[in-house]
Structure 1
């Protein structure tokens, strides 16, 4: 099994690298490749271990997404995100449960509600990736990202309650509500406490490699502690990620640079692995259906898949427009989004590995020792919903975004805000530089360095305003861009000399690595594209 997992990881990275190289949607390609590989006879079956997903894969992905999220933007859109991440999963759980109960006679209602909770949470990884590439408005990507952070907690808590009822545990309605509140509040408390503690420790360390290493451990430790005290591990990880993400702006530059590179690599590896793993589950899912009526299963699969999609579509429009109809304050504060943007959010309900992991985690037996009712059917229906939404909605989402014109060019407004902030920052830094210059003796050579710093501050202020002007196609290369290009070329020349010195034996490898690190940092600072992630 260990070797199989290693092979899956390597294959997933290879497929993802090709997809990203040719600007294809890697999650969809990985699922398709996984489905294709699963049909090859003689290959070992790589099963999906729910514990691996829920304890090893989910926490770091949630933590990384939370760190990249904006607490300010989430708070500004808390009403819309709450309707998507809390209310919608609960509604989906109930509606899908009753549809499954009606379409599959051998499925008891309580087991059908387990299925509803399993397929309730969308996974916005592929949707946000597609949206950013195609220029979705920032508010839309904020809604999708905020939903994906919180809906897992809602759905998994509902799943826990439904599962307890299905296996024979006595859980009243009020007991279930109390358990839900306890898990949510406990998750917030655990996340905040650990966030404050870890932030203090990282400030005390002032050691970038150790701070980054601690950051890698945080999501796993947070999830474990929260689950041990019967709180929501998902909510705890999200809260600690949001808190530390906000605090990261006050940390050292080296820690931020390292964290960004490390977590981007972790995200790529884990996301590639889980999407390929989804496709590879087909043989195990089909094997569990032996002896079942094919017609009844297909009918139930179509009904559940359609319900999952339609419930979200029906929910989105009233949830978006009704609050504005009844609240004059809301109408004054927020303009109503165009119907096209609402439709795109409604269509971005692809399910992911969390649903499959929850389905495979259903126990084999109930408390009285009897087999869990229709467990194989629940797993199959979950698989159909996961793969069906990824392929149906995921493949058509780019076309839909272009067709409805739900794209925005927020670059100019961003540059205006950046230019104004850069101007204020430049004035503040310039005032401090003038104070320092007054303390230097007239004949001191430091005056030359002060002039260099003044020119650097001026170039920093000019950079943002240059970007607001006409493009390089009209005006040619701007002075700042030209200086950065020449500076990068000079740094490359120096780098080649140091490598040659090392090869000739005149400097040691350790010396060369130290100098190259300084040159790399200088090149990164001058390369605007590398900083913006373009």
Structure 2
């Protein structure tokens, strides 16, 4: 019952904040924190394993479905420097500062705190970016980082817990542990995705296909964690693979899946921020039992929060200044003239990336998962809460003004998008004309000839065919022919993407347009 109330309340506040033009994450956290101080209110707390198993996988999977191999390869250098390098640097620097600034916190527990607060949660940043229309290249880097950094942070957290408690990990060598986790996690995700794709292609039922898709992130995460591999990377690998093969599913499955995952994202994001806020009173109540003075804690927490806020911009611009943050750019759309070049990302991109370090679900779950035997556990949890909420309240409101002030423009990206859209229209028109050369089986030749003339005229004018003066028989034939055309257009788009003639995002947009067109045709039947 308590969980239901939290979810309903979080959704209601999110809806109200969105209508008022406010950032839902900030409003939900602030109101939830205030609610936590209501006298007699019991603590709402979930096991950290439940948060990591139930909340994190679907959020990662949903983002991975819309990500592509091409975006990953093009921005791999920047993604790894942020998703792995940034996590390691942030954990080390924050841990050292915490050991120096926070009374009663030894070095090993301080480094554990660094691992807890290392991974940024890109949920809020990506939501702001989508709302303000950030360039696709920048969104791809932020999304890729969010898909990778959790794996690095959780591996680092495992090593830090082992060091603090004296327990052994699967491998004593941290590099071997990380390598095994990455390789095994990715292989498990790929294998599961191939199995699910094979099953889904035989179901022929959009409801069952969507239900199967809902199981994938949880299955991937649990299977990988069972063999001590990275559950995060298993989910990401499965999501990217199935998203890439999504064109082979039915149009109803794609449309249904988009709505289901969007709704689930809204639900889980609202719950995460509400859960963060509801811990406020109880985290600080546990802190009082440690005996640390409030002035000392405030000074130490300020130092830790300041370090977290500053180390990311320092790392981003240090690596940018040394030319390490570069991307691979495909120049020229015609197949014979395409080439890959190294492209230096604009400094404005780096400014936005450096300020998108809000912490969230992984930080809160890892803090709750610190074993009771670790010295200073209550202090670690309180500091992690300050960092998570502090970054959200400081960076969240200031990120939109920063983006507007920078006036991010991507004329070359816009030009490539226009060229890609024109090429996509050319591909679909050619596929439709080719499909119109063969009448459906059993169709009346004269009726098909009249219909083909209508479609040919409409394709030449880039508009829909006129259906107002059609007989019932012609309307039935129209639906059959339209389905034939749409299938041919989808096949041509996927073939063009595979040949490298069209970028993945253009193909996904065109497939969505075709799906909506087929759904409208089915509804008018």
1:341 aligned residue (349, 353, 374): 349
2:213 is aligned, of 212, 215, 226, to 215
- The match for 2:11 is 13
CA contact (8 A) 1:136 1:408 kept: no
Partner Cα distance (1:93, 1:358) in 2: 13
Superposed counterparts of 1:523-534, under 5 Å: 525=520
Question: Quick one: distance in 1 between partners of 2:328 and 2:152?
Answer: 30
In 2 relative to 1, CA 522–140 (structure 1 residues): closer, same or farther, beyond 3 Å?
closer
Are the structure 2 counterparts of residues 174 and 429 from structure 1 closer, same or farther at C-alpha, using a change threshold of 3 Å?
A: same
- Give the equivalent residue in structure 2 for 1:308: 308
Structure 1 Cα separation of the partners of residues 219 and 63 of structure 2: 17
SS in 2 for 1:445: helix
Please give the per-residue CA displacement for 1:475-532, whole angstroms capped at 9, x wherever unaligned.
xxxxx7x989x99xxxxxxxxxxxxxxxxxxxxxxxxxxxxxxxx9669649xxxxxx
Residue 357 (str. 1) matches residue 369 (str. 2): no
Which among 425, 430, 434 is matched to residue 433 of structure 2? 430
CA distance in 2, matches of 1:236, 1:269: 23
Distance 2:380 2:420 in 1: 51
In structure 2, the CA distance between the partners of 1:355 and 1:215, relative to structure 1 (3 Å rule), is same
Who is 2:93 aligned against? 95
Tell me the distance in 2 between the aligned counterparts of 1:200 and 1:523. 24
Given candidates 429, 451, 454, the residue that maps to 1:452 is: 454
| 2:398 matches 1:396 | yes
Contact 2:74 2:328 in 1 (8 A): no
Deviation of the 1:309 alpha carbon: 1.2
Partner residue in 2 for 1:44:
42
CA distance in 1, matches of 2:327, 2:127: 33
Of the three residues 135, 139, 142, the one matched with 2:140 is 142
- 1:287 and 2:312 are equivalent in the alignment: no
Structure 1 portions without partners, runs of 5+: 366-371, 464-479, 488-519, 527-534
Distance in 1 separating the partners of 2:14 and 2:518: 28
Cα distance in 2 for partners of 1:134, 1:115 equals 33
Return 28-37 or 90-99, whichever deviates more.
28-37
CA distance in 2, matches of 1:74, 1:59: 19
Offset, 1:411: 5.4
Where does residue 133 of structure 1 map in the other structure?
A: 131
1:441–1:52: structure 2 CA closer, same or farther, 3 Å change rule?
Answer: closer
Correspondence for 1:119: 117
SS at match of 1:323: coil
Give a deviation string over 1:392-422, Cα, whole Å, max 9, x none.
Answer: 0011000011112224475564244212211
Once residues 3 and 266 of structure 2 are traced to their aligned partners in structure 1, the CA distance between those partners, rounded to angstroms, is 16
TM-score of the aligned structures, taking structure 2 as reference length = 0.82
Structure 2 stretches of 5 or more lacking a match? 331-339, 470-514
1:449-488 equivalence runs, <5 A: 449-458=451-460, 462=462
Residue 323 of structure 1: how far off its partner (Å): 3.0
Structure 1 pair 205–171 and aligned structure 2 pair: CA distance change class (3 A)? closer
Where does residue 405 of structure 1 map in the other structure? Answer: 407
- What SS is found at the alignment partner of 1:223? helix
Contact 1:437 1:450 in 2 (8 A): no
Measured after TM superposition, the shift of residue 440 of structure 1 is 7.8
Of 240, 243, 252, 2:241 maps to 243
Alignment of 1:136-285 (within 5 A): 136-170=134-168, 175-285=173-283
Structure 1 residue 328: Cα displacement: 13
SS of structure 2 residue aligned to 1:335: strand
Q: Secondary structure at the match of 2:359?
A: coil
Equivalent residue, structure 1, for 2:421 = 418
Contact in 2 for aligned 1:309/1:349 (Cα 8 Å): yes
Give 1:45 deviation, angstroms: 2.2
**Deviation of the 1:251 alpha carbon:** 1.3
Q: CA, structure 1 residues 525+361, in 2 after alignment: closer, same or farther (shift >3 Å)?
A: same
Shift of residue 340, structure 1, vs aligned partner: 2.3
TM superposition shift of 1:97: 0.8
Per-residue CA deviation, residues 221-247 of structure 1 (Å, 9 max, x unaligned), is 111111111111111111101111101
What is the CA-CA distance between 1:258 and the residue it aligns to? 0.9
Q: Is the 8 A contact 2:18 2:24 kept in 1?
A: yes
Match of 2:104 among 103, 106, 123: 106
Distance 1:86 1:77, change over 3 A: same
Q: CA deviation at 1:74?
A: 1.2
State the alpha-carbon separation in 2 of the partners of residues 199 and 38 from structure 1. 45
Q: Secondary structure at the match of 1:333?
A: strand
